[in-house]
């Protein structure tokens, strides 16, 4: 079980964007990459991106809240410690069912880390 921390620095987002593994779903794109902070700890860092194309501030904040809660439930159990993740929202993240958001996150993590999957 991994402990979640926030990814805050712009350079970390850019590093993941240029070098990270990517998995796209209908409502989000998830980027993942091993971090070099402390590979022995059980911490994984996660960041969220919502662009202005999605809507105004109220809409973007609602999408971000939905993704954060889904990630809290899924990533704390399935994320690989020592990794950084960025979740980029797509428009359907606002309207799709919450269980679908969780299922898409689970699927993405299983695709990115098949060796950690106990399916």
The answer, yes or no, to whether residue 65 has pLDDT greater than 80, is yes
**Assessment of whether the complete model's pTM goes beyond 0.85:** yes
Cβ(31)–Cβ(108) below 8 Å: no
Question: Is 41 or 53 the better-scoring residue by pLDDT?
Answer: 53
For the chain, the average pLDDT equals 91
Report for 17-21, 40-44, 113-117: range of highest mean pLDDT:
17-21
Residue 37 main-chain phi, psi, to 5 deg: -70, -65
Q: What is the mean pLDDT of residues 98-107?
A: 96
The answer, yes or no, to whether residue 33 has pLDDT greater than 80, is yes
Indicate the domain borders of the chain. 3-112
Hey, which CATH number is domain 3-112, 3.30.2320.30, 3.40.50.800, 3.30.230.10, 3.40.50.2300? 3.30.230.10
């Amino acid at each position: 079980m991994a402990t979640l921390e926030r990814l805050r620095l712009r350079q970390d987002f850019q590093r993941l964007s240029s070098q990270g593994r990517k998995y796209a779903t209908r409502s989000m794109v998830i980027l993942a990459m091993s971090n070099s902070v402390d590979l022995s700890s059980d911490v994984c860092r996660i960041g969220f991106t919502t662009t202005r194309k999605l809507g105004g501030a109220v809409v973007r904040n609602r999408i971000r809240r939905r993704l954060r809660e889904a990630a809290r439930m899924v990533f704390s159990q399935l994320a690989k410690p020592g990794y950084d993740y960025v979740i980029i929202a797509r428009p359907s993240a606002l309207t799709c069912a919450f269980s679908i958001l969780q299922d898409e996150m689970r699927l993405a993590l299983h695709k990115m880390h098949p060796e950690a999957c106990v399916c």
